[in-house]
Chains A and B, each alone.
Chain A
Amino acid sequence: MRGLFRWSGKWWPGVIPLVVLWGFAAWTSTVPLENDLAGRSSAALKGSVLDKTSITVDGRDVALRANAFSEAGRRDAVAAVDAVPGVRLVNDETRLVPEAKPFVWSVERDVVRVTLGGNAPLPALKGKLVEATRSALQGGEVADQMSLARGAPPHFEDAALLLIGQIGRLKDGKFTISDGEVSLTGMARELGGREAIAAALAKLPDGFKVASNEVKAPPYIFQAYKDPVAVTVTLSGNVPDENIHAVVVGSSSRKFFSEKVVDNLKNSVGAPANFVNAVVPALGALSRLSTGTLVVSDRDIKISGDALYDAAAGQIRTGLAKDVPQGWQVKADITVKPAAAPVDPTVCQQLFADLLGKARIRFETGRSDLDRDSTGLLDRLVEIAMRCPAANVEIAGHTDAEGDAAANQALSEKRAQAVVDYLVKAGLPAERFTAVGYGSAQPVASNDTGDGRAQNRRIEFLVR
């Protein structure tokens, strides 16, 4: 042992190659060692929930920079790296993710894409929200502009997912959560979308309330087009429900007695109030035009086309505005069809007979007030009467045999007079027309059947 100690004094020359060896070892092993430690440290952080993690290894010292979502998570991450074999020191540069006050999150839809903005509480939830948006859109572009922050209200995830589920109903707009308050703006994609979104909001989790809902519905459109060439009236757009649908189509069939009614309407919620009370008079105005278009957009009624004569154009312009319910706007762009060439009185008689063969002038039951559904027919009769200015015309009123004969006689006279009044109001000279009532004295069909009685209740135009 003493010899070993004595000889150890001569070991020093070996230090020279040892130092050389050390130099080589340091030269070649430093970078691989650092890479190895960086890899192991990253692997150790796999299970930790961190944001913006960066690991820098200098020798055996690891600098850990990361944003953690809780104090415990932050400590655990540092401990996990510290426990990696080979790591000498951990320079803890971690910090907590900033807390957002108020915690704001938004989902915004425009023409091209859906943008998720504001804050998300955790990276996993951020990914989940993006994924949910993608599946809600089915193929649309999703832009993720969310940053991470602490301070989300409880049940934030449920609320955000609920709003994402509704984003498909928007054409454009934005849903925002600010702490527990939800605000909505924008335009619904379809009629009823606004109502559906409002209904879905009822399922918002506890602690959330709707601060403002300014989602607008797209305009509620109803259109009718009278085509004199195809002899059709095409109804398109929306009606509120099946009952009103039937009312509109039924009313159109009566008003447009010689045209085929093409029904392209569909039932949609979201109609403005008094829809039917506005649309039926507007259809009445359209029925008085030779060709025309009616567009009802929300509470705006736009009617354009050619009236059959001057007075009709004036009546439509002023009359429709009075007929529609309060709050509805009417814009009538009515021109007058050029007058047709005059014809011989016999031709006039033929035209009257043809027209009255297609439809009858209707009155209110038991009274002499003209039914509004007959205005279109009356205008056509006026137009014919204007073509033979020299002809005098007897307007003959007839009733069925139901009820008292004297009353029927009086009713037939009054009804004939009502028609004459209409013609005079249209600008025709009163002296050309004679109102005559025949009561039930000249039936054209049996008074025993309902159908027969209906045929007997009639007005005839007889050129004298």
Chain B
Amino acid sequence: MAYLVAFHWGWLAGAFAIGLAMGWVAVVHRAPGVSRPVMLLLSALAAILVGAAVACLIPGRAGYWLELLLLLFVPYLVGCAIGTWLRALVVVRSMRTKSAA
């Protein structure tokens, strides 16, 4: 894992940036959210893919590409969380300022 991180740090940083941007936008975005059943479905899919990767079920290059995808998701999700959290802080502060005015 350490080897993969070291080898792909550029791409991981990119995924983190996309996540950060997405998180920042998500707070004020008006698009429909993912419904709860879909979320469960996606979580199950994610669990299956992680399981397949950990168990080395998929051989060769395809296995590597799966690992790469899952690996990119980690900084993406972290980026999303941080982006959302920061945006939420900003939004809350501006709402307070408005209500005070």
Contact with B along A1-37 (1 / 0, CB 8 A): 0011011111111110111011011100110010010
B3 touches A86 (CB 8 A): yes
In the bound complex, residues from chain A placing their C-beta under 8 Å from that of B56 are 88-89
Q: How large is the interface on B (under 10, 10 to 19, 20 to 34, 35 or more residues)?
A: 35 or more
Contacts of B60 in A (CB 8 A): 58-59, 61
**Cα–Cα, bound, A66→B59 (Å):** 21
Tell me whether A59 and B3 are in contact (CB under 8 A): no
Given A13-B22, A59-B63, A86-B7, answer yes or no on A7-B84 (Cβ-Cβ < 8 Å): yes
Whether A85 sits at the interface, judged by CB under 8 Å, is yes
Which of A21, A36, A58, A86 has the most chain B CB within a 10 Å cutoff? A21
Considering the complex, which residues of chain B in the window 1-60 have a beta carbon less than 8 Å from any beta carbon of chain A?
2-4, 7-8, 11, 14-15, 18-19, 21-23, 26-27, 29, 31, 33-35, 39, 56, 59-60
B68, A25: Cβ atoms closer than 8 Å: yes
Given known contacts A25-B72, A36-B7, A86-B3, is B64 in contact with A11 (CB within 8 Å)? no
B contact residues around A4 at 8 Å (CB): 81, 84-85, 88
Judge if A60 is at the interface, Cβ distance under 8 Å. yes
Given contacts A4-B81, A9-B39, A14-B18, contact A30 B64 (CB under 8 A): yes
| A-B residue pairs, 4 tightest by C-beta | A14-B22, A9-B33, A59-B64, A86-B3
Give complex CA distance A22, B64 in Å.
12
Chain B nearest CB from A20 CB (Å) reads 9
Q: How far is the CA of A447 from the CA of B63 in the complex (A)?
A: 122
Q: Is the CB of B84 within 8 A of A21?
A: no
The listed residue (A11, A22, A89) touching B22 by CB distance below 8 A is A11
CB-CB nearest in chain B for A9: B33
Residues of A within 8 A of B90 (CB): none
CB-based nearest B residue for A30: B61
Instruction: Contact check, A29 vs B88: say whether CB atoms are below 8 A apart.
Output: no
11 chain-A/chain-B pairs, Cβ below 8 angstroms: A3-B88, A10-B29, A10-B33, A11-B77, A14-B80, A21-B15, A25-B8, A60-B64, A60-B67, A85-B2, A89-B56
The answer to whether residues A14 and B29 also contact, given A4-B84, A26-B68, A85-B3 and a CB cut-off of 8 A, is: no
* Contact partners of B88 in chain A: CB under 8 A: 3-4, 7
Determine the chain B residues whose CB is within 8 A of the CB of A61 once the complex forms: 59-60, 63
In the complex the two chains form, what is the Cα distance from A59 to B60 in whole Å?
5
